[in-house]
Structure 1
Amino acid sequence: MEEERPLLWKRSGYSFGRRQHTTRFKLSSYAVKRPLGRRLWIASACFLLWAPTAGTAAGTSLHRSLVQVLTTANPPDVRVPWRRTGPKSWTGSGVIIAGARILTAAHVVADQVMVEVRRAGNGRRYTATVEHVCHPCDLALLSVADGEFFKGSKALPIGHLPELQQPVEVHGFPEGGSGLAITSGIVSRIDVDYYGHTSYTRLLLVQVDAAVNSGNSGGPAVSDGKLVGIAISALEDAENIGYIVPAPIVRHFLNDVKDGRFDGFPDLGFWAQSLESPALRSKLGLKPDQGGLLVTAVTEEGSGHGVMQPGDVLLAINGIAIDADGSVEIADGVRVDGTFLEQRPQVGETLNLTLLRNGKVLERTVVMRTSEYLVPPGAFDRDLPYRIYAGLVFQPLTARYLFSSKGRQNWLRVYYLNPVMGGTTTRVPNRGIPGRREVVILTGVLTDELTRGYEDIKNTVILSIDGTVVRDLAHLSDLLDSGEGEFVTILTELGQEIVLERKAAEAAHAEILRRYQIPRDRADDLLLSAE
């Protein structure tokens, strides 16, 4: 029986300023190597097992930098959030960088309970620790306490963004053998697009035509003896289309964690409209050689709040002109979504904006910060939050849930999916509910006499409990614990009512948990808040 592989929903086209438009999806897979017995992830005969020969001087040198990562994980189960799915094992690749650290892909070590590493050409395994992880950019930094591991190793220097047509080699430990393999190709595309690990964040992404096979994830893409990217995924049902996290994103991550914590990628937090229409450009007073984006809304949480206004035209960021379609030129012949400019600074650094407002050109400076999510990507490496009440199972809505097999089957039957797939990195519209911090959904109904008739009301957003609008899961839990009156009335955003007799619900609650072998009715963080 084959194990379901993670998916990468890849979106094409520009969407700088959180614009929504026609979307095309491409299905891709992570390059994580599962245990032997799985089918070959992408058939390819073009890789070469590493062997020190006269013609492989570069390979002979690089193998001292290469690492295989062996992960044992116990991921949470979104279908039954009070338990884990059970131990699973897979392997990926990694590379030694300056400071006796190992760089790999975040999805290689996601939800890990143990990580081991071994050097290329050495069978001994060493225990590794995940020091920092960035799930949005799919990068992780590992350390090994045993100094013996790094003896004779060589840190691979980090290069810069490769050019189109630049030759690259992808190094790693793919399926089909236990040794190091090297595939060769060129950089075929540079773009800003979704990363598959969270399927949520659009960052600078490089496409290569070197084969990226199962087990290559986390391995380095190398050019001229320097790391130009980290392999993360490949396009299914296509030959030699792989994706790497490019060096600028790697540098951003490493600089971010220098202070011991990961802050993330900032954004301006605005919605915009393209200015490709001649009539619209004429009305706004734009010159023929001016591009820009029409700002239509600015979120309160975004960095641009208080600086940008609806009706402004964003002409340039840090002096780099924005085209009328929202793209910017970052290299000769390379145009990418302008989101790239938002994400270049670290949190706390500044961006200079050139705005056109009421016919006047303004220069403004903003301090960059990250935005909050109403529908967040979803946590890894921790238990899932949940609350059970009399057989009703509640969870926050996350992208991880949406892209799980359960979420894909139902699509929640609500309109939160469209903003998620539209690239919203700030809060999606609150649907007229001030103060709501997260969307709470009813994800399951445990069959019982008490819940009869409500079995089909699931994957539905909860609006209120006993007439009080639900702000987040902790608030929902408090409302259930402190409620009074004969009935508990739960209202969904679709207008459905779940009504329980309060005394009967409280009397049946413990028995339902016992019957379904559920150890507790809420996640640990809700237990702490209740205390």
Structure 2
Amino acid sequence: MRKHAILFTLILCSFFPQLSAGAEKEDVIGKISTSIVRVFCTSNVYNFDSPWQPPFQIEGTGSASVIGNGEVLTNAHVVAGGVSIYLKREDDVNLYPAKIIHIEHDYDLALLKVEDPSFLKGINPIEIGDMPYPRDEIYTLGYPTGGEKLSVTKGVVSRTEMHSSIHSGMKSMFTQIDASINPGNSGGAVVRNGKLVGVATQGMPYAQNIGYMVPQITVLRFLHTVKNKMPSSLPSLDISVQDFRNPDLRGYINLEKEKGGILVSQVHETSVAKGVLEDLDVILSLDGHKVESDNTYEWREGERISALNLIKTHLIGETIKAEIFRKGEVLEKEIVLRNSINDSKLATFRSFGEPPSYFLWGSLVFQPLSENYLGTWGDEWFSNAPKALISHFMDGEKTEERKQIVLLSRILPHKSNIGYSQMGRGLVVEKLNGREVKDLKHLQEMLKIHSEPYIILELEDKGRIILEAKTVKESHKEVMTVYGIYNDHSSDLD
């Protein structure tokens, strides 16, 4: 009997705490579950290989959190290009139309609004909590594909670091968690102690139980910009830096190891730091945070992250303070962060729901280089697209002489271009009859006033396309008819 009593006591001791924890979790989740809703979105998608075509539509689902005043927080990629958005509560069969108040692809966040007041009836808006720490327990709430009911998954915080967004390609602060994030979960809440501490945003391809959330600190910054009608794009310093741990390199610069710092290898022509920073400056600190020689700083006790984050925590128009080492002197500098990363790049990052910019001249289709166009080489475009285009996309910077990389994106087969249509696509146009091409609008304007007998396009690879101007002009209407082209240019070129 004594053995049975001891065994029964052990079972009780191990069983009842689990019941208590489960009951506590159920109580906390139950209070906020009404604030987690499902998103149904129909989006426009454009074909950048045939930019004259109208958009086609795709349908998708995601999750979102009601945060108060009828405002609903979700991921940008859940509603990107959305032309029809509906929200559904778990306890309600009705679909409620929603509209986008603000969307920021850099953060992968969007704020929606439902006009129908009955949507909020009985909902307890979720509050925003504090930034979680590594090994903190969290729950992800959302509507992954495969079911209609709210799904709750338990996990822990692994770490917070700079990571590239699958949606925008931008590098910013993300928090890694070990709770799975599956299609449909995106935009849902990550909660701790009944409060939102992040927005579930993406999983890691080919890995199990690794997910990422947009952290609380980024959510608050996004909501602040929306409330105050401020620019929300991530700012860019537009400099190149390099690891500064090599002792010979430090000896050449004449800076002791203990000072840390990161070496500025290049201040680009379009940089907002031009005239403030110089090549071979050493950045010792940013906003009072010491920068170590591996380009990290301690953003929270015991946690280090890339110093790039100190720039990303600012808004466009704000000033960042830098302590630098230059030729034996320590200097204090201030830099106004005026530009986003797209402001300085020759090629634009991916856009969503926006029609391509293009124009047709005879059988020649022109458009600027963009990530959307590179995407016509498929999901693995970084490996499949021409290396020259990848190089322009990654490293190309605007100058006064060149604002865009203009592409002869397609040569539509026609009797007027015999021998040219096999040259391929995505050809970089450098000159028209000896004159440098600045951007797409500039090329269009030059062709409109072109009076020489031949059109001579000089390409980056030193190839040339030479066509009789009269023949090109005469073929224009026929090409449009044959290929079903209703507009020979995009509306931005009117």
Q: Could you list the per-position Cα deviations for residues 119-178 of structure 1 after superposition, in whole angstroms to 9, with x for gaps in the alignment?
A: 232221111111111112211111111121112222222233321111111111101101
- AA matched with 1:518: I
Distance 1:117 1:440, change over 3 A: same
The answer to whether 1:218 aligns with 2:190 is: no
2:306 to 318, 337, 342: 337
Q: Which moved more, 1:492-501 or 1:397-406?
A: 397-406
Aligned CA-pair RMSD? 2.0
Q: Aligned pair 1:415/2:378, yes or no?
A: no
Look up the match of 1:458: 425
Give the match for residue 43 of structure 2: 73
CA distance in 2, matches of 1:336, 1:54: 34
Which segment is superposed worse, 214-223 or 380-389?
380-389
Match of residue 129 from structure 2: 159
The answer for the alignment partner of 1:435 in structure 2 is 401
Aligned equivalent of 1:516: 483
Question: What residue is the counterpart of 1:36 in the other structure?
Answer: none
Partner of 1:258: 227
Quick check: 1:208 aligned with 2:157? no
Bigger CA radius of gyration: 2
Greater displacement, 151-160 / 206-215? 151-160
AA at the equivalent of 1:415: A
Q: Give deviations 1:389-413, integer Å, cap 9, x for gaps.
A: 1111111111232234458458542
Partner of 1:113: 83
Give the conservation status (yes or no) of the 8 Å contact 1:219–1:231: yes
With normalisation by structure 2, the TM-score equals: 0.90
C-alpha change, 1:381 and 1:519, in structure 2 (3 Å) is same
For residue 74 of structure 1, report the CA deviation from its aligned partner. 1.9
Structure 2 residue ranges without an equivalent (≥5): 1-21
**Secondary structure of the residue that 1:58 maps to in structure 2?**
helix
Seen in structure 2, the aligned counterparts of structure 1 residues 53 and 517 have a Cα distance that, compared at 3 Å, is: farther
- 1:55-110 CA-to-partner distances (Å, cap 9, x unmatched) read 61122111121111100112111121112452211100111113321111111111
1:67-466 matched pairs, under 5 angstroms: 67-199=37-169, 201-260=170-229, 262-371=231-340, 372=343, 373-406=345-378, 408=380, 411-418=384-391, 420=393, 428-429=396-397, 434-455=400-421, 456-466=423-433
The normalised TM-score by structure 1 is 0.84
> In 1, Cα distance between the equivalents of 2:208 and 2:385?
34
The size of the alignment, in residue pairs, is 468
Give the secondary structure class of the aligned counterpart of 1:87: strand
Cα offset, 1:439, TM superposition: 1.1
SS of equivalent residue, structure 1 residue 124: coil
Alpha-carbon distance between aligned partners in 1 of 2:349 and 2:287, rounded to the nearest angstrom = 29
Supply the distance in 1 between the matched residues of 2:103 and 2:433 (Cα, whole angstroms).
41
Change (3 A) 1:54 1:273: closer
**CA drift at 1:434:** 4.6
Letter in 2 for 1:440: V
The aligned counterpart of 2:7 is none
How much has 1:333 moved relative to structure 2? 3.1
CA distance 1:55–1:380, change in 2 (3 Å): closer
Greater CA deviation, 409-418 or 92-101? Answer: 409-418
Letter in 1 for 2:401: G
Match of 1:4 in 2: none
Tell me if the contact between 2:43 and 2:353 (Cα under 8 Å) persists in the aligned partners: no
Contact 2:318 / 2:336 at 8 angstroms: preserved in 1? yes
Cα distance in 1 between the residues matched to 2:43 and 2:492 = 22
Higher-helix-fraction structure? 2
For residues 23-60 of structure 1, the C-alpha deviation after alignment (integer angstroms, 9 at most, x for no partner) is xxxxxxxxxxxxxxxxxxxxxxxxxxxxx988611221
Is this contact kept in 2: 1:270–1:295, CA < 8 A?
yes
Cα separation, 2, equivalents of 1:518 and 1:180? 46
Counterpart for residue 484 of structure 1? 451
Letter in 2 for 1:497: R
Whether the 8 Å CA contact 2:162–2:171 is kept in 1: the answer is yes
Task: Report whether the alignment pairs 1:474 with 2:405.
Answer: no
8 A Cα contact 1:354 1:362, kept in partner? yes
Q: Is the Cα contact below 8 Å between 1:346 and 1:368 reproduced in 2?
A: yes
- Percent identity for Structure 1 against Structure 2: 32
Deviations 1:406-446 (A, max 9, x none): 5845854243424755xx6xxx346xx75211111122221
